């Protein structure tokens, strides 16, 4: 979305605008914890109209994106959705895309402000293929809910998280808390945004983030830095097909998965609730005097209290109590393992991880 975007839903009673990458939509509408509960229960809709939307048209669109991305795209039927990454040669994440197929095009939902760079990259890779790429972010946006919204039309992306898509692999446990949060993104025309919401109760980005963090789901705009590889975030579950054809970064994906270990791992932190504040994203995570990671997404959850996602070094003891340091304040924190400490190195061993069930 272009700088200066302001959602019409910010005119609703109680709306307080979010900051940073989520500027232009509401952080909350007066009661963020209540909004999160309502959103989780399917009784509210969230305004993500600042997210960007890119389209790919042309006969070669699916096979072309299949060759570029980490995910299998060519098999998608109209109405089908998946998640895909564009990687560097070193396997580092450069773009994350939520892909929805229609009869005539692919629609890609990406982080706020990421649409123009994605359009530029994809156009640079067109060569002689029958594809056309357009950034639609000035005219289309997104509404989110834990159910499908009937008035929003048929352009609905269904989140595969935390399932294991075909060709995927899980680095975390089977009883995943993300199973409690279905998630649907509805692509709507911005001029019809208020009409698409109708009389639905609204939830702000604080509610959206609280549910995401509790579901252990990484976000491109939060958990990613310039060295992140998918293994570190458990994104082999939903965004990587380990058995598809060649794509940029595939060698790193295969090497780390089969004979190596990711250098870092995503972790869920329960923070000390007596502090009455939250650490900021970027705050250091320490084990004793040693810095072992950083907070990526902190939130106050309506049931769990203060929680966060963090990225830490792989070999940090999962039983160790950590401290999050933000300025002069220290927040005691206990871990729940998301990415296993022995993730990777699966060649020749098939226990301890989840695999895609046999087909047929």
What share of the chain in percent tops pLDDT 90? Answer: 90
pLDDT in tens, 48-72: 999 999 999 999 999 999 999 999 9
CB of 123 closer than 8 Å to CB of 170:
no
Q: Kindly state the average pLDDT of the residues 302-309.
A: 97
| pLDDT number for residue 352 | 47
Q: Across residues 2-12, what is the average pLDDT?
A: 91
Name the pLDDT band for 347 (thresholds 50, 70, 90): confident
Query: With 60 as the cut, is the pLDDT of residue 240 above it?
Result: yes
Q: Domain 8-233 in CATH: superfamily?
A: Probable tRNA modification gtpase trme; domain 1 (3.30.1360.120)
* Structure-block tokens of residue 205: 């980005």
Domain boundaries, the chain: 8-233, 264-337
Token pair, residue 94, equals 């450069």
Amino acid 145: pLDDT: 97
In the structure encoding, which two tokens stand for residue 251, read together?
């060698």
On the question of pLDDT at 354 being above 70, the answer is: no
Q: CA 196 to CA 189: how far, in whole Å?
A: 9
Instruction: Assess whether pLDDT exceeds 50 at residue 244.
Output: yes
Give me the residues paired with residue 106 across strands. Answer: 56, 101
For the cut 70, the answer to whether the pLDDT of residue 279 exceeds it is: yes
Report the share of the chain in percent with pLDDT over 70: 95
Report whether CATH 2.160.10.10 matches the domain 264-337.
no
pLDDT at site 2: 66
Closest CA to 332 of 266, 293, 288: 288
pLDDT-derived band at 349, boundaries 50, 70, 90: low
């Amino acid at each position: 979305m272009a700088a200066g975007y302001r959602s019409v839903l910010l005119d609703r009673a109680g709306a307080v605008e979010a900051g940073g990458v989520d500027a232009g939509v509401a952080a909350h509408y007066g009661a963020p914890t209540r909004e999160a509960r309502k959103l989780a229960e399917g009784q509210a809709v969230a305004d993500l109209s600042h997210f960007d939307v890119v389209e790919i048209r042309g006969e070669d669109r699916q096979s072309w994106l299949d060759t570029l991305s980490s995910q299998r795209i060519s098999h998608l039927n109209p109405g089908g959705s998946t998640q895909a990454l564009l990687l560097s040669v070193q396997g580092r994440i450069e773009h994350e895309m939520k892909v929805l197929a229609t009869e005539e095009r692919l629609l890609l939902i990406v982080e706020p402000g990421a649409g123009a760079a994605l359009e530029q990259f994809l156009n640079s890779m067109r060569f002689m293929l029958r594809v056309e790429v357009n950034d639609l972010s000035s005219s289309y946006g997104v509404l989110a809910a834990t159910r499908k919204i009937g008035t929003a039309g048929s352009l609905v992306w269904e989140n595969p998280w935390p399932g294991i898509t075909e060709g995927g692999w899980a680095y975390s446990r089977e009883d995943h808390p993300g199973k409690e949060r279905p998630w649907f993104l509805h692509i709507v025309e911005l001029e019809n945004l208020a009409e698409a919401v109708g009389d639905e109760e609204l939830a702000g980005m604080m509610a959206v983030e609280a549910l995401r963090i509790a579901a252990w789901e990484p976000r491109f705009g939060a958990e990613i830095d310039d060295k992140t590889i998918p293994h570190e975030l458990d994104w082999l579950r939903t965004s990587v097909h380990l058995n598809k054809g060649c794509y940029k970064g595939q060698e790193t994906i295969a090497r780390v998965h089969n004979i190596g270990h990711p250098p870092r791992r995503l972790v869920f932190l329960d923070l000390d609730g007596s502090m009455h504040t939250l650490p900021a994203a970027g705050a250091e995570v320490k084990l004793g005097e040693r810095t072992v990671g950083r907070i990526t997404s902190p939130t106050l959850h309506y049931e769990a209290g203060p929680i966060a996602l963090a990225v830490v070094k792989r070999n940090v003891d999962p039983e160790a109590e950590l401290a999050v340091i933000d300025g002069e304040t220290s927040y005691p924190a206990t871990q729940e393992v998301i990415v296993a400490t022995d993730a990777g190195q699966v060649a020749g061993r098939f226990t301890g991880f989840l695999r895609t069930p046999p087909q047929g």
